[in-house]
Amino acid sequence: MKIDFSHKQSAHCENGVVSNLMRHNGFEVSEPMVFGIGSGLLFSYLPFIKVNFAPVFTYRVMPGLIFNRFAKRVGMKIKREKFSNPQTAKERLDSNLKNNNPVGLQVGVYQLPYFPEEYRFHFNAHNMVVYGKENDNYLISDPVMEGVTTLTEKELEKVRFAKGAFAPKGHMYYPIEFPKKLELETAIIKGIKQTCRDMTAPVPLVGVKAIKLVSKKIRKWPKKIGPKKANHYLGQIVRMQEEIGTGGGGFRYIYGAFLQEASKVLNNPALFDLSKEMTQIGDQWRDFAVDASRIYKNRSGQADGYNKIADQLEAIANKEEAFFKKLKKAL
């Protein structure tokens, strides 16, 4: 039971799953285009949610939103299912595979045997495609991996029903209805407008205001929570930015690639110029990550290291605030 499915590696799991499923169904849509139309770019600070004993710092919208928004904006319908019973979840998966229908799954990464050990921690918002089954092994297309792989029935059940924050509960999703043609122009404009609204939202935990808030928090952490905990929190910021399948720079490079594609589709040269600016902002995020990692690995020669990286973060926030105002005007 093997579906003829084309695996293509991507920078981020959810974008890659959607792009690969679209390609399988005859629509060539790139990973950046999925991300941009789905308004995936964000920054949010969620101190009330803990992952690995540290607050959540997210550079993207909640899991599932990218595909939901993308589908709605291009006129496609998707089906999502969650389960309380692992046996029912397995039967529904097998039924789809028998019907020649590859499906997306949300899973936890901690018990994924093919993941490098340094990436295996309690993170339950990873995405993959299952495209077949041979004996007791499921055929897996994980878009952040170079090639396809397999998981046994037991291994797949473990990651589908991982416990903790964002527990997947056997979450399975797949497209069920497509338009004759994808109308990308309108979808791109809606996607960009939503991202501009999100990033300039007048609330402290979302967008550029959240980046500024985290900058202020970093200055206080060493005295308020102690160096050990402060270093752990810093590590969380960098891990979510650079290591959780983002393609680097907290998705800023992917968004730059989206704007470059969008400039051609909309015949809008201003978007091409802004794509270069977004890439430069991604570089600043990466510089911040390098300097922050030196501190939490105790390699920083800077006595005032926390204030220095807080300054970097504040400068990034100001750059992004100006950027998203320009992007909105460019439409």
AA identity, residue 228: K
Q: Indicate the angle between helix axes 65-74 and 184-199, nearest 10 degrees.
A: 140
Asked whether residue 234 carries a pLDDT value surpassing 90, the answer given is yes
Q: In DSSP terms, which residues pair with 56 in a beta bridge? A: 46
Supply 91's token pair: 């039967």
pLDDT tens by residue, 55-112:
999 999 888 899 999 999 999 999 999 999 999 999 999 999 999 999 999 999 889 9
pLDDT tens by residue, 125-166:
899 999 999 999 999 999 989 999 999 999 999 999 999 878
pTM: 0.91
Q: What is the pLDDT of residue 248?
A: 72
Q: Which of 243, 242, 241, 271 is nearest to 257 (CA)?
A: 271
pLDDT tens by residue, 239-254:
888 876 566 788 999 9
- Confidence band for 302, pLDDT divided at 50, 70 and 90: low
Backbone angles phi, psi at 152, to 5 degrees: -70, 165
Cα distances from 281 to residues 123, 188, 225, 264, 315, in angstroms, run 26, 21, 30, 22, 10
Give the chain's mean pLDDT: 93
Q: What is the pLDDT of residue 247?
A: 66
Q: Which residue do the tokens 């952490």 mark?
A: 221
